[in-house]
Structure 1
Amino acid sequence: MAASVQDWVPGVKVLHEYQPAWLRNDITAGIVLSTMLVPVGIAYAVASGVPAIYGLYATIVPLLVYAALGPSRILVLGPDSSLAPIILGVVLPLSIGDPMRAIAIASAMAVVSGAVCILAGLFKLGFITELLSKPIRYGYMNGIALAVLISQLPKLFGFSIKSSGPLRDLMQIGQALIDGKANWVAAGLGLGTLALILAAKRFTRFPGILVAVILATVIAGVFQLGETAGVNVLGPVPQGLPALTIPWIAPGDVVTILVGGVAVAIVAFADTSVLSRTYAARTNTRVDPNQEMIGLGAANLAAGFFQGFPISSSSSRTPVAEAAGAKTQMTGVVGAIIVALLIIAAPNLFQYLPNAALAAVVIAAAIGLFEFRDLARIYRIQQWEFWLSILCTVGVAAFGAIPGICIAIIFAIIEFLWDGWRPHWTVMGRVDGIKGYHDVTRYPEARRVPGLVLFRWDAPLFFANAELFNDSVRNAIAASPTPVRRIVVAAAPVTSVDVTSSDSLAELIRSLNDNGIELYFAEMKDPVKDKLKRFGLFGKLGEANFYPTLGSAVSDYLEDYSVDWQKD
């Protein structure tokens, strides 16, 4: 029973193994971490279209829940810049400026996201994010980073626009700057905050975000810039802890919230799984991706029911916790407690915080999302994957985060199918001095068996390539230097077959037989044979048409037709 509890609640295992020497590290790391949790939580709440206090709620509850159910000992969860444009894209048009409706919509998205992740974890679907290739992930995240950056520029320069998509927003921003709508005092505060945050990134232990935000807040408060210079500031923050609340939504909003929640789940788990695996490798531990989905899902579900919004792992706060010496999830618990104490005891600390400074925090995080160096490497080694990545970026930038992730998934499916749709195939022959049979295009001197075509197909057989397989076999026969009596398919690379390809194969066999050509298979895997048996094709061909090795198939052909040909 204890083992079962530890499987489902990894935090129990951590408590059983907890060493007293770790406590000092976890408390110290939690204090350091809390210096980032407050400004970042507030910034991402505003960037997501909900009031600031809910960013702190979405920080406290998920950290506590993940400490119990999350498998990673060091991962820090909370509001994230990569989710902000997705949340904003749903919240902004549906809330119509009503902050209470905005948080209800955002909380409902968190509930949907949490439920999706938990179900995926229970059904062991943790592998699904691996279907998104690295170039596609880069393209999507670059698009998200660009969308986040553009969405924060109006706040950075102290004006507002009606959002209509990242690229169109960029044109509106340019026009507003030309028309003189910028508040240059706010812009100075924002740009100064951004410069300090970026400069401080090279010093891992220095709380650059906290220092930059405090300086901006002090300047805005001392000089009363909200009144004297028209700088937009955060204003009073409500006092109190999150309460259990069911996020009621309008029936007409359900579909949009469902789509947004699923999109958030995909992005959140993709980010979390990559970050979790990275830190697991550093600590020489293993993280179960399905339990990771459950932990992330439970944290989102709790955030949704305690006045929060969708959350993910943080690639900026996790390194801070690690650098500060975090040993276990207790670091997140300490950070959450400090944030809770702060909003109970001193909520007015944030009232002079300039919105331009919050925009700078989000922009700094967005800049960290961009990936260019590895894309340059991909361009050098595989240009079509580079351009696929660029297409994903353009898709997000042109159409927004939610349509962008749909585009990324479509590209991923196309990429996944492409190699199987148009796979490599070859005719094989014997090369002197090398064992086995080899591609005659690579070895033009290879000797072919008179009257026999050794054909290799390097992919599963399925509906999309069934006709191509038949055409390729006929092309191989037509290109044979001698009249063909038999063709042997080297089927070791064929990992699967479906009904469509099986029926197409039956038609090919009939066509070949009509022309006096026999079709045999060699080295076919047993699971593929089992499928052919279910489809009825194996029985029609007979056991004798399937050879365990290519060598035995060649030997039988030489004997059946008394062909004088030496293997060696």
Structure 2
Amino acid sequence: MPGLDVPATYQREWFGKDIIAGVVLATLLVPQGMAYAELAGLPTITGLYTTILCLLAYAVFGPSRILVLGPDSALGPMIAATVLPLIASDGDPQKAVALASMLALMVGLIMVLASVAKFGFIADLISKPTMIGYMNGLAITILVGQLPKLFGFKVDSDTFVGDFVGFVQGVANGETVVAAAAVGIAGIVLILALQQWLPKVPAVLVMVVLAIVATTVFDLASRGVSLVGELPRGFPPFTIPRVELSDIGLMFAGALGIALVSLTDTISNSSAFAARSGQEVHGNQEMIGIGAANLAAGFFQGFPVSTSGSRTAVAERSGAKTQLTGVTGAVLVLLMLVLLPGLFRNLPQPALAAVVITASVSLADIPGTVRLWRQSKAEFSLSLAAFLGVAFLGVLPGIGIAVGLSILNIFRRAWWPYETVIGRVPGYEGFHDVNFHPDAKHLPGLVIYRWDAPVFFANVKPFRDNIRQLARTEPKPRWILLAAEPITDVDTTAADVLIELDRELDAQGTSLVFAELKHRVKDKIELYGLKQEIDPHHFYPTLDAAVAAYVALTGATWSTED
């Protein structure tokens, strides 16, 4: 519990900065908490319950000094995609809250168990290109899903295509509430303008206050604009969520996806902010902190949480030094619920949609996508596939596609690695790639081949076929010398194929020779019996030693140009 160690090292001059930062943070926590609860398909009050408990729990168990956890725009659609299909057709909000709370408990347990098992590396399962595509897909899905609310009507759909078609049809059929659209669009413009030109001003709070004022002055409720209404008064109630056992099994895949996205987001944000303050990132302790935050939220009618980069940035800019900032924000939100539950009753629903839409815009990484297109068409294709998976198959399948594509990309790189023939280049020491140095020289009868990957069951056949092709070139090589330094591993399947290949080449009058094998790989080769099958004189410590042995054996010489 890192938070318990803070008092021993706390400096008096930090107190005022933490309190001020906590007050500023609270102005952001309330509207965003309510908006992201709506995004998850839950009552707005659950967003505030979640905010309070996760901040308090992370303050005790989280290792970062200023990281801010809470309801997140990236998790909202995942929670909705997991919970809403399990709710009865009447959309029972109590069942929705119970399912979301159980989902938070499941995510919390997954995080804690993963931390105990030292599985912090799981955050690396999603590559940056696929994460960019996933977030872009999430951004467009959230934006389109909020458009009907922004325009004052509802669409009965839970897919991107359905939301888009329903929105277009609603607008075409005249269902738009003009006052609602005006409030929502003005809210978006105001938030984006303030964030662009006055970044230190709490843009969301300013928009929310002006929207409440507009509701009161122009009586927007009588013009068909939906309002948040009075919130329940009092402390978040301790509740053990009651759900059907069959529902838990159906929620498990969603919990895994949420845990993965939350962990990836938290580790990346933690690393970024730790680098600025000189702290170290403790991945497994972060998992404990996120797990504790989710468990606390789950027992008080909350839902799964993650790190918020925007709220953490606000806390940092406001002078936050420790988690006292988050505790201050949580206490202020709690005081609002106890003393002023009606403070946001006149807040228009389109204003909350504006908060969510502006948050979704920040999820998209268009410059990153353009950079991928310029730098690597293959990785751009991975990003595009993840984007399309989220947009057209749904959020949960989208995260599955993102993880699957990342793993397949790793496998592809090992399956079809870079391979080349190398030779001597006049004026340069050592041996160099003929693809970049077409003028590279070769000794007659000697081919030096490099394979930049482990040799294992999935790629040993392409490896074998490449060497067979080299053996068929004219003039026929006497040696095929394998520059084996990039080969980091050989499995039993590959060892068997290498033995067969060596016998096949020997029968053709060509020797397979190895140079620069790593000690670990050499030990494995001995264990597999390759050294008993392959001539022990065909193993050399360096390429130069192997080439010198070939020259001594054949009398071959380099051309006079060298």
| Shared fold (TM-score, shorter chain, > 0.5) | yes
Equivalent residue for 1:140?
134
2:238 to 238, 244, 249: 244
Q: Check if 1:216 corresponds to 2:208.
A: no
In the alignment, the residues of structure 1 paired with residue 437 and residue 43 of structure 2 have an alpha-carbon distance, to the nearest angstrom, of 68
Deviations 1:219-255 (A, max 9, x none): 32454433x2222111221112223322222123223
Q: Which moved more, 1:73-82 or 1:271-280?
A: 271-280
> How far off is 1:453 after superposition?
1.9
Q: Is the 8 A contact 2:389 2:398 kept in 1?
A: yes
Equivalent residue for 1:529?
522
In the alignment, the residues of structure 1 paired with residue 333 and residue 47 of structure 2 have an alpha-carbon distance, to the nearest angstrom, of 11
SS of residue matched to 1:211: helix
Equivalent residue for 1:56?
48
What is the Cα-based RMSD across aligned positions, in Å? 1.9
Would the alpha carbon gap of residues 531 and 113 (structure 1) be closer, same or farther in structure 2, given more than 3 Å must change? farther
> How far off is 1:566 after superposition?
8.1
SS of residue matched to 1:455: strand
Aligned pairs for 1:168-187 within 5 A = 168-187=162-181
Equivalent residue for 1:316?
310
In the alignment, the residues of structure 1 paired with residue 491 and residue 97 of structure 2 have an alpha-carbon distance, to the nearest angstrom, of 48
Aligned pairs for 1:121-160 within 5 A = 121-160=115-154
Give the share of equivalent positions with the same residue, in percent.
Answer: 47
SS of residue matched to 1:308: coil
Aligned pairs for 1:179-218 within 5 A = 179-202=173-196, 203-218=198-213
> How far off is 1:83 after superposition?
0.7
SS of residue matched to 1:488: strand
Q: Is the 8 A contact 1:316 1:365 kept in 2?
A: no
Q: Which moved more, 1:407-416 or 1:37-46?
A: 407-416
> How far off is 1:563 after superposition?
4.0
Deviations 1:451-494 (A, max 9, x none): 22211111111222111000111122223x43322222111111
Q: Check if 1:116 corresponds to 2:110.
A: yes
Would the alpha carbon gap of residues 542 and 101 (structure 1) be closer, same or farther in structure 2, given more than 3 Å must change? farther
Alignment TM-score, normalising by the size of structure 2: 0.95
1:470 to 464, 469, 472: 464
Would the alpha carbon gap of residues 438 and 105 (structure 1) be closer, same or farther in structure 2, given more than 3 Å must change? same
Deviations 1:57-109 (A, max 9, x none): 11011111111221221111000101111111122221231111101111111
Q: Is the 8 A contact 1:236 1:351 kept in 2?
A: yes
> How far off is 1:501 after superposition?
2.0
Equivalent residue for 2:9?
17
Deviations 1:477-517 (A, max 9, x none): 223x4332222211111112223222222221221122232
Deviations 1:238-279 (A, max 9, x none): 112223322222123223311111111111111111111111
Would the alpha carbon gap of residues 15 and 536 (structure 1) be closer, same or farther in structure 2, given more than 3 Å must change? farther
Q: Is the 8 A contact 1:43 1:362 kept in 2?
A: yes
Would the alpha carbon gap of residues 533 and 115 (structure 1) be closer, same or farther in structure 2, given more than 3 Å must change? farther
Letter in 1 for 2:326: G
Letter in 1 for 2:360: A
SS of residue matched to 1:349: coil
Letter in 2 for 1:45: A
Letter in 2 for 1:503: D
> What residue ranges of structure 1 are gaps of 5+ in the alignment?
1-8
Would the alpha carbon gap of residues 440 and 197 (structure 1) be closer, same or farther in structure 2, given more than 3 Å must change? closer
SS of residue matched to 2:343: helix
Q: Check if 1:519 corresponds to 2:508.
A: no
Aligned pairs for 1:52-131 within 5 A = 52-96=44-88, 97-131=91-125
In the alignment, the residues of structure 1 paired with residue 321 and residue 333 of structure 2 have an alpha-carbon distance, to the nearest angstrom, of 20
Aligned pairs for 1:388-537 within 5 A = 388-479=382-473, 481-537=474-530
Q: Is the 8 A contact 2:471 2:510 kept in 1?
A: no
Equivalent residue for 2:545?
552
Q: Is the 8 A contact 1:83 1:311 kept in 2?
A: yes
> How far off is 1:155 after superposition?
1.1
Q: Which moved more, 1:362-371 or 1:412-421?
A: 412-421
SS of residue matched to 1:241: coil
Q: Is the 8 A contact 1:152 1:359 kept in 2?
A: yes
1:32 to 16, 24, 42: 24
Letter in 1 for 2:46: Y
Q: Check if 1:45 corresponds to 2:37.
A: yes
In the alignment, the residues of structure 1 paired with residue 295 and residue 491 of structure 2 have an alpha-carbon distance, to the nearest angstrom, of 39
In the alignment, the residues of structure 1 paired with residue 296 and residue 470 of structure 2 have an alpha-carbon distance, to the nearest angstrom, of 61
Would the alpha carbon gap of residues 566 and 323 (structure 1) be closer, same or farther in structure 2, given more than 3 Å must change? same
> How far off is 1:297 after superposition?
1.9
In the alignment, the residues of structure 1 paired with residue 58 and residue 381 of structure 2 have an alpha-carbon distance, to the nearest angstrom, of 37
SS of residue matched to 1:493: coil
In the alignment, the residues of structure 2 paired with residue 150 and residue 19 of structure 1 have an alpha-carbon distance, to the nearest angstrom, of 47
In the alignment, the residues of structure 1 paired with residue 468 and residue 268 of structure 2 have an alpha-carbon distance, to the nearest angstrom, of 45
In the alignment, the residues of structure 2 paired with residue 538 and residue 101 of structure 1 have an alpha-carbon distance, to the nearest angstrom, of 66
SS of residue matched to 1:217: helix
In the alignment, the residues of structure 1 paired with residue 492 and residue 285 of structure 2 have an alpha-carbon distance, to the nearest angstrom, of 35
> How far off is 1:558 after superposition?
2.5
Would the alpha carbon gap of residues 566 and 17 (structure 1) be closer, same or farther in structure 2, given more than 3 Å must change? farther
> How far off is 1:381 after superposition?
2.0
